A and B are shown apart, each in its own frame.
Chain A
């Protein structure tokens, strides 16, 4: 059973389009995250939700909008895609209420904007 899954795995689209990436976890975790990994492999947090509530909202263009329909799902919608949005996007989750709980990562979604 896959613990944290993401769809799609690859996403190729043109500038100006709107796209969504979906994430699901079956670990029973309450906290979920979105990270962006750039071409130099630098990893940076974008958002985090705890039990459907937004708790971390980094300096990210407002073209990016996360949405958590329930605590097992966290989706990322991106409007008006730009070339600089090309990256690998990772979803992750962690157990609630546990200081220093490790995060479990999905396999990533490679977004290419042309």
Chain B
């Protein structure tokens, strides 16, 4: 079965420190992987995606993610966290078979403390 796991419900980090939000996936075929962010009472915003090519993907707001095929992971990272990064982060994988159907992880709440 195709799935996405975000093992941490919440990640706490001090402002200025690096942050990592973890994601692992299970999908048949080549994975198309995405990260989205959701601020309170807002819709999801696209951050970045991995389709093919370089394993390190750069996205919006200084975020990046590293695709690791052997570990089936796609962790989201940022070198220096901001308080304004505090939000709910979703990892998603495109289900093979077309139609751009996405399966989302359960979400990880990132709390950045001053």
Q: Which residues of A contact B (CB under 8 A)?
A: 4, 31, 40-45, 48, 50, 55-56, 90, 92, 94, 99-108
Contact = CB atoms under 8 A, between A and B. Distances in A.
A92 B49 CA distance: 17
Interface residues of B, number: 22
A45 B95 CA distance: 12
Contact of B51 (A4, A44, A99, A107): A99
Contact of A108 (B34, B43, B88, B94): B43
B17 interface: no
Contacts of B106: 40-42
A45 B43 contact: no
Nearest to B103: A45
B44 A55 contact: no
Contacts of B71: none
Contact of A102 (B34, B101, B107): B34
The 4 tightest CB contacts between A and B, nearest first, are A105-B43, A100-B32, A102-B46, A100-B51
